[in-house]
């Protein structure tokens, strides 16, 4: 059993002692999970699924169906940053536009990986086609 500064045995009834033990256990569990994920990646058995695969595995989920449709509409990740492209969708007439995933990315700058792939670095080259600057 661990001892304190004075050599007395700690019973871990003090909240700080329990918190320290919990934190250590959490770090150990997190490290074990990270090690397991790294092993899976090394072996090539990645458990990462595309939105289309996730929707196929759970056909009764509307959320997964919407995510899969937006992913498919944006080219199934043919270009980088599919999440940004979905969030900045420029088809407001689409029935799924209001419920598409990644809406919080709307209006964010074009990611560097997309600019490197040849996308214009213009604030409304993709997404909202109405200028927001005066005189634009």
**What is the per-residue pLDDT across 14-44, written as a single tens digit (0 to 9) for each?**
555 555 556 666 667 778 877 877 777 777 7
Q: What is the pLDDT of residue 29?
A: 75
User: What mean pLDDT value characterizes the chain?
Assistant: 75
Helix, strand or coil for residue 3? strand
Q: Does 133 have pLDDT greater than 60?
A: no
Whether 91 maps to a domain, the answer reads yes
Q: What percent of the chain has pLDDT over 90?
A: 21
User: Taking residues 94-113, what's their average pLDDT?
Assistant: 88
Whether 122 maps to a domain, the answer reads no
Q: Does 62 have pLDDT greater than 80?
A: yes
Q: Which stretch of 18-27, 41-50, 67-76, 88-97 has the lowest confidence by average pLDDT?
A: 18-27
Do 43 and 55 fall into the same domain?
no
Do 91 and 60 fall into the same domain?
yes
Q: What is the pLDDT of residue 2?
A: 58
Q: What is the pLDDT of residue 113?
A: 79
Residues 6+ apart with CB under 8 A from 111: 80, 81, 84
Q: For the chain, what is the domain count?
A: 2
Structural domain including 42 reads: 14-48
126, two tokens = 């993709």
10, two tokens = 């700690």
What's the CA gap between 94 and 44, in Å, rounded? 37
Do 41 and 71 fall into the same domain?
no
């Amino acid at each position: 059993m661990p001892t304190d500064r004075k050599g007395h045995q700690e019973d871990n009834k003090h909240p700080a002692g329990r918190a320290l033990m919990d934190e250590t256990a959490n770090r150990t569990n997190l490290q074990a999970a990270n090690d397991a994920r790294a092993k899976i990646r090394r072996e090539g058995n990645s458990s990462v699924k595309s939105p289309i695969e996730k929707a196929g595995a759970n056909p009764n989920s509307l959320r997964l169906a919407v995510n899969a449709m937006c992913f498919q509409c944006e080219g199934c990740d043919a270009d980088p940053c599919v999440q940004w492209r979905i969030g900045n969708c420029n088809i407001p007439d689409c029935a799924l536009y209001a419920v598409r995933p990644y809406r919080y990315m709307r209006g964010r700058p074009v990611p560097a990986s997309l600019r490197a792939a040849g996308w214009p670095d213009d604030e409304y080259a993709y997404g909202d086609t109405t200028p927001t600057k005066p005189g634009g």
